[in-house]
Amino acid sequence: MDRSTRPGVVRRVWSGIWRGVDRLRRASINLLFLGVIAVIVASWWSSQIEPLPTDAALVIAPSGTLVEQRSVRSPINVLQGGDGIRQVLLRDVVDAIRNAATDPRIKVLILEPDGLAGAGLSKLEEVGAAVADFRKAGKKVYAWGKNYNQSQYHLAAQADQVFLNPDGYVLLTGFGRYPTYFKGLFDQIGVKMQVFRVGTYKSFVEPYTRSDMSPEDRDATREYLDAAWQAYQADITAARPKAGAQITRYVGEAPELLAAADGDAAKMALDAGLVDGLKSADEWRDFVRGLVGPAADGKGFKHVDLATYIGRVREEAPHPAARVGVVVAQGAIVDGEQPPGVVGGDSVAGLIRQAREDDAIKALVLRIDSPGGSATASEVIRRELALTRKAGKPVVVSMGSVAASGGYWIAMAADEVWASPTTITGSIGIFAMLPDLSGPMAKLGLTVDGIGTTPLAAGLDPRRPLDPQIGKLLQSSIEHGYKRFLGVVGEARKMSPEAVDQVAQGRVWMGIQAKEKGLVDKLGGLDAALKAAAARAGLTDYDVSYVEKPLSPRDQLLAKLLDNGEESDGGEPGSRSLVDQTVARLRAELQGLALWNDPGHVYLHCLCEAP
């Protein structure tokens, strides 16, 4: 063969091999995809035909964080060490317990909160109210845990009897808020944060401009945390009077009480009346088996889990033609279209518009669980709600754990505003913040030079020091925005701007305080808000319909494959080291800055955490 033809032959051979490998790869991926689909369909089909047991226990064992809306995480985020915390829909838990109260197939309710990774106090109170209704129906509730942290114990305490593993503990700590302050880091690397704000208590910018908590933020935070701790103790006292009476001493004198129990934390909890008895895992299973009998296969006890039960109940439920629509606004408020778990101005407005144009939906409830964010996106959502009211459909807002700043702004278009007594709300204030990166660039030997047609041409370029003219423009815009905020609230709440200013200044309030100050209409959870919306629409027989953007086929598949982005360890508290938790928190705090996309760089955001 001529030497000149050899490269061409080799190239064709390798090209053929590569095409074969590529086809094999694509075929393998397609087969894997079809296999996953087959498993999903088989799992769904089997769940449809398997009958529920009778006289069984409904087991509520939430694994993850209680949320209003699940977010779909990308596989890359999980592989790179994303938070990976499981998510459990609050409405699934509440609806399951409420339905089980009158379901003859359910004999007892079992609470196993070991896997509960986190929940705002207001969410725990909504679950507690559902458990109370279950008990009022004459059915018993029992709880068991290996250990109980503060959130887990709140759930367990709603039971008739609470049991603890003999080697376990009940850890109650009270509430705290300890932000990370980045000013020292920024000073070292030469970053300056240019801040413009109105509101004495508008503390969102402080972690980037201070090294400690301001006196104003400290006072406001202490007030709402004290109120939250009092509410927590009141909840426990209502469910377990003996335990409630002991909580202050249990927390305040923990070292002495533990020493008196010879270092036995389980005995300490038992002596204080926080639990009724100590049972190992096998003793607990035997106890429940004695209540409901053995499972059909002779192993364990007769029961049905949350996912199976709520799925079956919703299939069996009648579906009246008239509906009350629910749109969930959970997460930071961000401009544009955003995925579930982030309040996209355009995406949430689109859902509200969809509900308005649906003739079957006679009233709308907006469920807010958001600390705020983009001023532009907040107004887009508020405007869409106002148009819904103008179209003749009642609009009721139900506040979850947090509905502050931008989250409060969007609530101002409602006919009625409902809050939980422990909702964090208010934070009527506004700010803008721009980074000046010229310092670290200079340290790297980088300079910026050029020319513009006006002094404002590159006024918002973070590579250059902020032009004083831009600073004046931003401050004027912020002051105007604050006056507008006062006006929006004043018109909605029928208060003068001066009266609103007295409770504004960026200060946050608990729901019960907000009710006293006229910032919300009524206290209650989502169920009460739904009934109020139905009453305004004149409905007595209606269905509740969540208006949500359908997940793409890709996201549906990822949700199944990654189990909603969950970690293989179940996401249980304590499954990650303290170092991992700290790094994850720092990353989350800094990554939050990436969500700042307001076109005018103006934000209605609250640096507040729901207790």
Catalytically active residues, by annotation: 202, 405
The CA radius of gyration of the chain, in Å to the nearest whole number, is 27
Contact indicator for 162, 216 with CB cutoff of 8 Å = no
Query: Residues 196, 431: contact at Cβ < 8 Å?
Result: yes
DSSP H helical ranges for 253-374 = 254-260, 265-271, 281-292, 306-316, 345-357
Q: Sheet of 161-164: strands edge to edge?
A: 277-278, 161-164, 140-145, 106-111, 56-60, 303-305
* Residues near 595 by beta carbon (within 8 Å), at least 6 away in sequence: 332, 334, 342, 373
Buried b (16+ CB within 10 A) or exposed e, 517-542: eebbbebbbbbbbbbbbbebbebeeb
* Measured distance CA(330)–CA(340) in Å, rounded: 8
* Tokens standing for residue 108: 């007892």
340 close to 548: Cβ distance less than 8 angstroms: yes
How would DSSP label each residue in 116-139? EEE--HHHHHHHHHHHHHHHHTT-
Could you please report the per-residue DSSP string of 237-286?
A: HHH-HHHHHHHHHHHHTHHHHHHHTTT-HHHHHHHTTS-SEE--HHHHHH
Coil vs helix vs strand at 82: coil
CA dist., res. 544 & res. 530, Å (int): 8
Nearest CA among 590, 561, 575 for reference residue 74: 561
**Cα–Cα dist 510/69, whole Å:** 22
Residues 6+ apart with CB under 8 A from 242: 273
H helices within 54-210, ranges in order?
A: 75-79, 90-101, 121-136, 150-156, 183-189, 206-209
Query: What angle do helix axes 306-316 and 90-101 make, rounded to 10 degrees?
Result: 70
User: Which DSSP state fits 301?
Assistant: B
Rounded CA separation 140/57 (Å): 10
Give the whole-angstrom CA distance, residue 607 versus residue 611. 13
Which is nearest to 369 in space by CA: 337, 326, 416? 326
Is the CB of residue 228 less than 8 Å from the CB of residue 222? no
